[in-house]
Amino acid sequence: MVPCVAAALIGRANAPIRLVERHHSHHDTYVVPPDFLRALVVTMLLVGCLGFVLGAFSLAGAFGPSARCVLAFTDAFVWTFFGAWVVLMRYKVSLFEDRGEIVPLIGRSSCFFYSDIEKLGWRGRIRTSGYRDLVIVEKDGRRLRIWGIVDIEQILLHIDRFDVLEPLAAGPEDAPELMPRALGPWLAGARQRPAEPAGEGSGNLIGRKRFEH
C-alpha cells in the first residue's frame, strides 16, 4: 500500500503549481524546489518496493531476517520520508509589495512588513541548495527565519532592504569571487556559485540597480 501511495505522490510532485517561484498578479511565492520533493517520493517508492521484495524472500527462506522485521524497517523509513514530504510541501514564503508571509514547516504563518525590518542576518551552515538561513529581526525584537531551502537571493532582491543586511566575512570555502555580483559583498558567505569568466557580462543588472540605490 505504501509504495502505491508514494507512486501517486509523484504526480503531485510534478504538478506545475509546485514551481520554485510562482508569480502572481499581486505577489511571488517561493517554495521548496520540486526536484527535491520528487526525490523524496522516488525514494519512498524504491524503499517500499525493496521491502516487499525482501519480505517475499524472507517468507521463501532465501533471506535471513523475518519478513516482519524487514517490512517494519522499510515501512518506518517510508513513513518518515512521507512526514518530511508533507511538512516540506507546506513550507513557503510569499512576498507582496510591502510585506511578506512565512508559512513554516509546523505552526502558524508569520507576517512581516519590509519597513519594520531592523536587521537581516545569516545563520546556520550552507545547505545543499547553496544558501544559509536568512534571519529577519524586526524593530520590536521579533525574529523570523527563512530556511535556505528556498531562493534566498530572489527573496532579498524583492525585499530590497540591503541597508540592514548583515555583511559576513567570507571563509575559505566562501571566497568572495564565488558570490553573485547582483548582491555584492552582502552575500559573501551566504551562497556558493561558480565564478564568472573575466570580461563576460555585467551580472544581474536589475539586482545591481537595486544594490546601488
Same domain for 203 and 129: yes
The sign one gets for the Cα dihedral 117, 122, 124, 125 is positive
Looking at the structure of the chain, the number of domains it has is 2
Indicate whether 60 and 150 sit together in one domain. no
Classify residue 101: in a domain, yes or no: no
Both 72 and 140 in a single domain? no
Q: Beta strand pairing status for 117-123 and 133-138?
A: antiparallel
Instruction: Mark whether 71 and 118 lie in a shared domain.
Output: no
Task: Tell me the CB-side half-sphere exposure of residue 12, using CA atoms within 13 A.
Answer: 12
Distances (CA, A) of 112 to 22, 79, 131, 140, 206: 20, 34, 21, 11, 24
- Is there a domain that residue 98 lies in? no
pLDDT attached to residue 167: 75
Q: Which 3 state secondary structure label does DSSP give 106? A: coil
For residues 133 and 179, membership in a common domain is answered with yes
Do the domain assignments include residue 150? yes
Chain segment 101-117, per-residue pLDDT in tens: 999 988 899 999 999 99
Give a yes or no: residue 107 inside a domain. no
Does residue 145 sit within a domain?
A: yes
Quote the domain boundaries for residue 9.
Answer: 2-19+33-90
In the chain, % of residues over pLDDT 70: 66
Do residue 164 and residue 198 come from a single domain? yes
Q: Quote the CA–CA distance of 68 and 65 in Å, as a whole number.
A: 8
| Each residue's pLDDT tens digit, 38-70 | 888 889 888 988 888 888 888 888 777 888 888
C-alpha cell at 157: 532582491
pTM of the full structure: 0.65
